[in-house]
Amino acid sequence: MQSCLPLGVGGNRESEVTTPSQRSPAMATPIALGGVLIPPGKKQRVELPISRLPTQTLLSLSVTVIHGRCPGPCLWLSAAIHGDEINGVEIIRQVLTQINPRQLKGTVIAVPIVNIFGFIDQSRYLPDRRDLNRSFPGSPRGSLASRLAHLFMKEVVSPCAYGIDLHTASHDRCNLPQIRANLKDAETYRLAESFGAPVMIHADSRDGSLRQAAAQRGVPVLLYEGGEALRFDGDAIAAGVQGIRRVLAALNMYALNPEVATTPSLTAAKLTWVRAGRGGLLHMVVNLGDRVEKKQPLGLITDAFGESKLKVYAPCSGLVVGCARNPLVNQGDAIVHIAVIREPKLG
């Protein structure tokens, strides 16, 4: 059995019951979330009411709290902020089955399905067509998206010192497993490196995103991308599960047994979309994860009659981290995403 020694990262040794408004809760005592007390060494599901459907059916934000026996940081895991991005749901499910609360130092707050409305409808958006990831930090009196964002910030983000938000590519695209984060921040960079995705990309946060709202509260966030919408991708799921386990180990929250050797992540500071120069049928000749050189052929766009074709070339050297899945393209469609790799300095 592990001893409950202070970790020095998050947490304190106060004796009173903690609340979600406290950034570093006293992990050796019960933690409160949504009015529910979770004792140390326990895993518990908490339902946070969101709103009622026109049928008066109540929908809630389902949160699983794993509260460790020992003091340590508080980390949140979230998925399906876009309701059709389901790889993260499976990643969190698997992670939850692998954590023994009696061996955990700190607390994991997991929300497998944030946008429950979009998840039910197999849609990226909420019923009012708003993008939840452009609605943070939200408001208790705003739109449905704004209210859900506010609830998530209040109950999930507020008690946490770290966060991992799981995504896939949008509709008809697929992404190589990758971490997007503020790599200029030393602690965020450390955690991104420990995650061990094939590539980590410095990315500024977008207005209204969860990552931006959390960063404004001083919370480092890793955004994981892998696979495509409405499809399980075994490789992307496995990379996500192992990455989260490595971050837990890097935070000294949970042992990584057995330890898995990984290839160091490539680092990119820039992303470039290659767009279709004409409409037609796309025939790719490169795959996710391929290294490409400037002016290298990426594919062909043909018509349906065999009368014309247009070659697509790489505008720069880099790594293919995203691509279109639908071969039917219109002029201007984004078809290949290239990450410009920062090569390590020799000597």
Residue in 298, 289, 293, 238 with CA at minimum distance from that of residue 266: 289
Distance separating alpha carbons of residues 291 and 285, to the nearest angstrom? 12
Q: List, in order, residues 6 or more apart from 293 with CB less than 8 Å away.
A: 314, 317
Residue range 2-12: mean pLDDT, rounded: 42
Collapse the DSSP code of 105 into the 3-class scheme (helix H, G, I; strand E, B; otherwise coil) and give the result.
strand
Contact 340, 269 (CB under 8 A): yes
Judging by beta carbons within 10 Å of its beta carbon (0-12, 13-18, 19+), is residue 164 exposed, middle or buried? buried
pLDDT at site 28: 55
Judged against a pLDDT cut of 60, whether residue 155 lies above it is answered with yes
207-248 confidence digits (pLDDT tens): 999 999 999 999 999 999 999 999 999 999 999 999 999 999
Tell me what pLDDT residue 76 has: 98
**Contact in structure between 83 and 50 (CB atoms under 8 Å):** no
Dihedral (C-alpha) 260, 263, 264, 267: value to the nearest 10 degrees? -130
Output the CA torsion sign for 158, 163, 166, 167.
positive
Reported confidence tier of residue 29, pLDDT bands at 50, 70, 90:
confident
CB 174 within 8 A of CB 228: yes
Q: So what's the pLDDT on residue 202?
A: 95
What distance in Å separates the CA atoms of residue 64 and residue 274, rounded to the nearest whole number? Answer: 40
pLDDT reported for residue 6: 38
For CA atoms 112, 115, 118, 123, the dihedral sign is negative
Average the pLDDT over 329-347 and give the result.
86
Summarize the confidence of residues 148-158 as an average pLDDT.
Answer: 98
pLDDT band at residue 257 under the 50/70/90 scheme:
confident
Q: What is the pLDDT of residues 271-314, one digit of tens each?
A: 999 999 999 999 999 999 999 999 999 999 999 998 999 999 99
Domains and CATH numbers, the chain: 31-250 (3.40.630.10), 268-341 (2.40.50.100)
CB-based contact 46:61 (threshold 8 Å): no
Categorise residue 138: left if φ over 0, alpha if ψ from -120 to 50, beta otherwise: left
Structural tokens at position 70:
């020992």
Q: Cα(218)–Cα(215) distance, rounded to whole angstroms?
A: 5
- Residue with more model confidence, 169 or 263: 169
For the question of whether the overall pTM of this predicted structure is more than 0.75, the answer is yes
- The position carrying tokens 């971050």 is 247
Q: Is 22 exposed, middle or buried (0-12, 13-18, 19+ CB in 10 A)?
A: middle
Alpha-helical (H) ranges within 286-333 are none
326 pLDDT higher than 90? yes
Query: For the chain, what is the mean pLDDT?
Result: 91
CA distances from 201 to 84, 189, 206, 291 (A): 23, 10, 14, 16
**Whose CA is closest to 132, among 163, 105, 165?**
165
In the predicted model, is pLDDT for residue 25 greater than 50? no
The residue-averaged pLDDT of 158-179 equals 96
